[in-house]
Structure 1
Amino acid sequence: MSEPTYTALVDDHLLFHGTLPALLHSLKAHEDHHASMPVIFEDHTGLHIDFDLRGTLDEVLSRYTPTPESTERPKASASTREITLLPRHWSWLDEHGSASATLRRLVDTARLSNIEKQTATRATEAARHFITAMAGNRPQYEEALRALYASNEDSFTNQTRTWPKAIRDTALRLATPAFTFHAQNHAQKPA
């Protein structure tokens, strides 16, 4: 899994987008020179998050960044289990080569499909959280929300066009995995 990213906005303008250590550096630098407080969102969930910036940069970093974990790779091992299938299932597996390899491919395909669907659902919810917080009182908010849940990227883009650029761009960035997933699945369905 990739490292979590964050978005910080000040007065509807993008201050920062990136990883936690870089965010904390940016927040401390901003705090030292500006009175305005950034609004920070965790990109994975779209939820507002606050950080305690008291102390030096090193103190802030030690408070929020985890200690490095062991770089030792886990040992890969296969386990043997018994499965029971009907004769027609065994026949089908035999037609497709090694039963074990075929079962592994089927499980991996199902897992990936489920992971992609979960990613799309998470992206929709993250975008919803973000736009509710940052654009809930803006024109076309409800229409944009409907477009988000309908996975209609063109309508979503159209509904958000009058919003400040940083809010519009962040909302679209958070929603893009959902739009992509639904566009790919719609294209794969037979007409």
Structure 2
Amino acid sequence: MSSSTPESTLTAFVGFRRIASGPRSQVIAQLRKQGDRSDEVPTFVFDDCTGERLDLDLRDEPAAQAVEAAPPDEHATRSVGRPKLGVVAREVTLLPRHWEWLGRQPGGASVALRRLVDEARHVHADRDAQRAACEATYRFMTAIAGDLPGFEEATRALFAGERARFDTLIGPWPEDLRAHLDRLAAAAWSAA
């Protein structure tokens, strides 16, 4: 579901109560200690970077590693690019005038595209951080608070950058939920 990494920070909720938060390995260990809670309210785990709900494998390490250690596909095709360097070839669709311009750039099309992407990432870093925080907050809110009063208006306030209105609308919500929303949305307000 998510592309979270082992270094991701996660937060686990049972209902609206936060029961674990921290690095992935720490949250998994805390959830394993708590054991099966199938007769209670389900536990939901969220990636703090993306706001996505995750399905974690809580089996003991050897069992989980056995599943992940499946043999590679013998008929897998060799990927294009330089995989050992992290370079992966993908398709880009451009108009002929774009290809002509790229072809005239020093180093060729790939070097020019990488340079353009790096410049855009630098120039728009604040805006990208704000958008990512809004999207992560929205994903989390939708998954856990979609039925709470004021949800739709709080969502509108979030995307409008209206922090005071957002805080007022989520004010009646459970404390752990509000605290986590404040943490997720922090970059949205600081970049606004």
TM-score where L is the length of structure 1 = 0.64
Instruction: Name 2:179's counterpart in structure 1.
Output: 169
8 Å Cα contact 2:6/2:25 also seen in 1 = no
**One of 42, 46, 50 as aligned partner of 1:41:** 46
> % of aligned pairs identical?
31
Distance in structure 1 (CA, Å) of the matches to 2:121 and 2:37: 48
| Letter in structure 2 aligned against 1:3 | E
Instruction: Map Cα deviations across residues 148-175 of structure 1 (whole Å, 9 max, x no partner).
Output: 0011111111110111111111112111
Residue pairs, 1:80-95, within 5 angstroms: 82=106
Q: Which runs of 5+ in 1 are unaligned?
A: 65-80, 84-103, 183-191
Does residue 154 of structure 1 match 2:154? no
Instruction: Name 2:131's counterpart in structure 1.
Output: 121
Instruction: Map Cα deviations across residues 36-84 of structure 1 (whole Å, 9 max, x no partner).
Output: 3311111121111111223x255458878xxxxxxxxxxxxxxxx859x
Q: Which runs of 5+ in 2 are unaligned?
A: 69-104, 108-114
Distance in structure 2 (CA, Å) of the matches to 1:18 and 1:177: 18
| Letter in structure 1 aligned against 2:21 | H
| Letter in structure 2 aligned against 1:119 | A
Instruction: Name 1:28's counterpart in structure 2.
Output: 32
| Letter in structure 2 aligned against 1:150 | A
Instruction: Map Cα deviations across residues 14-49 of structure 1 (whole Å, 9 max, x no partner).
Output: 111111110110110111688533111111211111
Question: Which has the larger Rg?
Answer: 1
| Letter in structure 1 aligned against 2:176 | A
Q: What is the aligned-residue RMSD (CA, Å)?
A: 3.2
Instruction: Map Cα deviations across residues 105-164 of structure 1 (whole Å, 9 max, x no partner).
Output: xx9875333222212111101101111111111111111111100111111111101111
Instruction: Map Cα deviations across residues 70-107 of structure 1 (whole Å, 9 max, x no partner).
Output: xxxxxxxxxxx859xxxxxxxxxxxxxxxxxxxx9xx9
> SS in structure 2 opposite 1:158?
helix
